[in-house]
Amino acid sequence: MQSPHIPKTNGTGNRQARKFSVFWIAVLSGMASLLTIVAVLQYRWTMQLSKATEASIGSNLQPLMTGWDLDFYGEFSAICVALQVGPDSGARETWDDYLHRYVDWSHAATNNDSLENIYANPDVVRKVYIWETSDKTRPRLLALNPNSREIEDSTVPDYLKTLLTRLRAKSSSLTLALRAWKISDSSAETPYGGSNQLSPSASLRTDKVTGWQFDASIPAIVHPIVHSGRHSPNPSGEPTTSEHSVDWIVVVLDVNTIQKRILPSLTKRYFGGRGGLEYKLAVVATGKSPRLIYSSDPGFPSSNGGEVDSEMNIFGPPPESVEGHFWQTIKNSESLRPEEWRNFSAPVWFPVIQYGSQDEPWTLLLQHRTGPLETIATSIWHKNFMTGGIVLLLLTVDLGLILIASRRAQKLAKLQLDFVASISHEFLTPLAAIYCTGQNAKDGLVQTKSDLIAHGSIIISQARGLIDLIKQNLLFAASESGMYRIVLYPLEVSEILQSFGKNVATLIEESGCAMEYTLETRLPKVMGDPSALTHCLQNLIGNAIKYSGKNAWIGISASLHHVGKHSKEVRISVQDHGPGISSSELRNIFKPFYRSPQALESQIHGTGLGLTVAERIAQAMGGRLSVTSELGVGSIFTLHLPVHEEDVELQTVSPGRIDTGIQQ
């Protein structure tokens, strides 16, 4: 009798495997490209977000600094408004008029509803002088005393000598006096590039503060006054022309008040929060000899020129200058560029008297209390980038897991298809033998008693194999679903081997294999299920016979071993002299449905479940199954079983052989 032929499918399988590999390579390449694009977009997005955050902070910071500067300017210009030097530069006023106005202002209370009195802080003014330079031969310095309400003669203080000398040199005409802040003495040069008239941009400030000029080194504010006499207005009542000599009002500001009261108050007003100041602030007088005017924090700014978030020229370009007119044009036409908030000039200030070719303005410096804004923005960028990177990494891992799961599902599906083909083949072989035997009986070929016995043996043998195969599959299904249950008993090793020997006696006899037993004496009992143990060992023997071929040798041994200090186990080993298993295959042999390429090439029957079921039986009994193998030498499968601790009775079986019921 011949079993039906199952054609080989290796060629088709290889082609499908190649197509499958090409498909997954394309999928992985596409996903890698997609992740790269997402990573680049995420990087650009975080960079743009960082820049937008920095620009947003800057756009909020610049108006605060400008408002701070306007209030600071308002503190200085309050006295200018109070003295009311008109557009005619005081041609109709007397010194007594200025004295009365100064007295009224210095004794007035602050009135937030009055624009003129909102900055009425008399403490900011140290002294008000009249510098009479119209008398070229005998200039005189007069002091306005608000307490005595008198005009007093005064000596020239040392700190005013440089300023008064400059003013005296610029007092020959009103046109020249209004340009006293400039260095050049050329009468042809005009404030706005070619006319003796005041620049239209001067009207950016109110008429009451136009014409005032600021000396930052003292500090002091000065204004030219047209007079033909010292204490009386022009007798004709007509305005004095700009060609007449001028005198000066000199307002000396109190540095201590500026440093101790005005600047701290402005800083708290504009840059304070619930937890205190949000920014470190400093006012620095730049120039050849820089000096610190005010700092909200000791040590700021640092001597090494540490980074600041924003710098503002407090004085800014005067509206009377070309730069000031240009600045106002740009300011009114469009907003500043995003980065200009880092370094810009204030919109309005007095023209600053220049004593050198280089400007020496006061500069407002700001730095966020937690660090430079650029560092904060960079930190935000790092956090966003790291968050996005982690999300992208998790996405990559998820995709990788999906690919792995899909790949495993594909492999499992293939294994299951192979299993169906194999199990069908395994079922077909005994069924075909049974069918042929029955057909022989039907055709009358079974005539003698010996023929009947022979055909009966064939049917019984094939039916037993079919039953064992079905049991194997049912056992695997039960273990896979978690429905498999065993009951552990203390068992004698000799009894296990005797029961096992009876079950495989026919298989050993048919295969012609030589069996050899080696057992240690006085073996303790082990914990196990008799039926499950027999099935496990039967699977190991069946594999050894299947791969070793006819007339092979199989050795079975049992020995006691110590595991740790207080634990023991009995090891039952099944050894063969078969072809052996390669190291690359050892990690796969216990997987369901797995069959080695050599087994497929040799068309060795099997379902790929024998070792899987054996391992699960061993684990269910609290033991394990191990294997060592060498190509060309053979394999040793070892079943590790825990010892029954309460049983102290030891075996007395002699080493070498036991009665298993198997015919040797």
Is the alpha carbon torsion for 74, 80, 84, 90 positive or negative? negative
Name the β-bridge partners of 250.
129, 222
Residue 200, pLDDT > 80, answer: no
The better pLDDT of the pair 400, 66 is held by 66
Closest residue by Cα to residue 6 from 493, 432, 524, 516: 432
The better pLDDT of the pair 298, 238 is held by 298
256 pLDDT band, cuts 50/70/90, is: very high
CA atoms within 13 A on the CB side of 78: 27
Mean pLDDT of 2-31: 60
* Tens-digit pLDDT profile for residues 267-278: 999 998 887 888
Closest residue by Cα to residue 130 from 112, 145, 147, 119: 145
Q: Tell me, what's the pLDDT at 394? A: 81
**CA-based end-to-end distance of the chain:** 28
Could you write out the DSSP letters of every residue in 473-507?
Answer: HHHHHHHHHT------EEE-HHHHHHHHHHHHHHH
Q: Tell me, what's the pLDDT at 326? A: 44
* Tens-digit pLDDT profile for residues 93-102: 889 999 999 9
Mean pLDDT of 161-189: 82
Lowest mean pLDDT segment, chosen from 201-205, 477-481, 596-600: 201-205
Residue 623, pLDDT > 60, answer: yes
Q: Tell me, what's the pLDDT at 468? A: 73
Instruction: Judge whether 638 and 614 are in contact, CB under 8 Å.
Output: no
Lowest mean pLDDT segment, chosen from 340-349, 467-476, 495-504, 583-592: 467-476
Buried b (16+ CB within 10 A) or exposed e, 408-423: eeeeeeebeebbeebb
The better pLDDT of the pair 314, 4 is held by 314
Residue 127, pLDDT > 90, answer: yes
Q: Tell me, what's the pLDDT at 55? A: 66
For 267, the 3-state DSSP assignment is helix
Q: What is the DSSP letter of 643?
A: B
* Tens-digit pLDDT profile for residues 202-251: 444 556 678 899 999 899 999 999 864 444 444 444 444 445 679 999 99
Q: Which range in 223-237, 259-273, 276-290, 450-464 is most confidently predicted, on average pLDDT?
A: 259-273
Name the β-bridge partners of 557.
518, 573
Q: Tell me, what's the pLDDT at 68? A: 93
The better pLDDT of the pair 292, 501 is held by 292
**What is the maximal distance between C-alpha atoms in the chain?**
168
For 423, the 3-state DSSP assignment is helix
Q: Tell me, what's the pLDDT at 16? A: 60
Mean pLDDT of 646-659: 40
Percent of the chain with pLDDT strictly greater than 90: 17
Q: Tell me, what's the pLDDT at 304? A: 64
Amino acid at 64: L
* Tens-digit pLDDT profile for residues 383-438: 777 877 787 778 778 877 887 887 788 777 776 777 677 667 667 777 888 888 88
Tokens 């055709």 belong to residue:
443
Q: Tell me, what's the pLDDT at 603? A: 64
470 pLDDT band, cuts 50/70/90, is: confident
For 558, the 3-state DSSP assignment is strand
Contacts for 232-238: CB closer than 8 Å, 24+ residues apart: 232/94, 233/91, 233/92, 233/93, 233/94, 234/91, 234/92, 237/92
Domain spans, the chain:
84-253, 486-642
Lowest mean pLDDT segment, chosen from 93-102, 148-157, 210-219, 450-459: 450-459
CATH architecture of residue range(s) 486-642 = 2-Layer Sandwich (3.30)
Mean pLDDT of the chain: 77
Q: Tell me, what's the pLDDT at 152? A: 94
Instruction: Report the alpha-carbon angle 505-471-429, nearest 5.
Output: 75
Residue 293, pLDDT > 80, answer: yes
Lowest mean pLDDT segment, chosen from 195-209, 240-254, 311-325: 195-209
Q: Tell me, what's the pLDDT at 387? A: 79
Percent of the chain with pLDDT strictly greater than 70: 75
Q: Tell me, what's the pLDDT at 4? A: 44
Q: Tell me, what's the pLDDT at 12? A: 53
Q: Tell me, what's the pLDDT at 407? A: 77
Q: Tell me, what's the pLDDT at 567? A: 82
Residue 535, pLDDT > 90, answer: no
279 pLDDT band, cuts 50/70/90, is: confident
Q: Tell me, what's the pLDDT at 319? A: 52
